[in-house]
Amino acid sequence: MGSVKDLIILEKPEREKHGIGRFVFTDRYSVFDWGEMPDHILDKGKSICISTAYFFEEIEKKGIKTHYIGLVDENGNLKKLNELDKPTDTIQFKMLRVLKPEIKGNFYDYSIFKKERFNFLIPLEIIYRNYLSENSSIFKRLKEGSITPKDIGLKEYPVAGQKLEKPIIDISTKLETTDRYINWKEAKEIANLTDDEIEEIKLKTLKINEIITIEAEKIGLINEDGKIEFGFDEKRNLILVDAVGTLDECRFTYNGIPVSKEIARIYYRKTEWFENLEQAKKKDKIEWKKYVNLTPPKLPEKLCVLISNIYRSYANEITQRKFFCVPSLKEVLREIKSFI
Angle at 67 between CA 62 and CA 68, to 5 degrees: 75
Instruction: Please write the tens of the pLDDT for every residue from 19-55.
Output: 999 999 999 999 998 989 999 999 999 999 999 999 9
Q: What is the pLDDT of residue 287?
A: 87
Report the CATH number at residue 129.
3.30.470.20
Instruction: Please write the tens of the pLDDT for every residue from 176-216.
Output: 988 899 999 999 999 999 999 999 999 999 999 999 999 99
Cα separation, 328 vs 312, in Å, equals 9
Number of structural domains in the chain? 1
Q: What is the pLDDT of residue 294?
A: 93
Q: What is the pLDDT of residue 119?
A: 97
Q: What is the pLDDT of residue 177?
A: 82
Looking at the predicted structure, is the pLDDT value of residue 115 above 70?
yes
Looking at the predicted structure, is the pLDDT value of residue 97 above 80?
yes
Are 80 and 57 spatial neighbours (Cβ–Cβ below 8 Å)?
yes
Q: Residue 133's domain spans which residues?
A: 5-339
Instruction: Please write the tens of the pLDDT for every residue from 237-262.
Output: 999 999 999 999 999 999 889 998 88
User: Which DSSP string corresponds to 237-295?
Assistant: -EEEES--SSTTTEEEEETTEEESTHHHHHHHTTSHHHHHHHHHHHH-SSSGGGG--S-
Q: What is the pLDDT of residue 1?
A: 54
Task: Tell me the residue type at 109.
Answer: D
Looking at the predicted structure, is the pLDDT value of residue 339 above 80?
no
Q: What is the pLDDT of residue 262?
A: 87
Closest CA to 69 of 26, 24, 22, 25: 22
User: Which DSSP string corresponds to 145-202?
Assistant: TSS-GGGGT-SS---TTEEEEEEEEEEEESSSSS--B--HHHHHHHHT--HHHHHHHH
Instruction: Please write the tens of the pLDDT for every residue from 124-171.
Output: 999 999 999 888 899 999 999 999 999 888 989 999 989 999 999 999
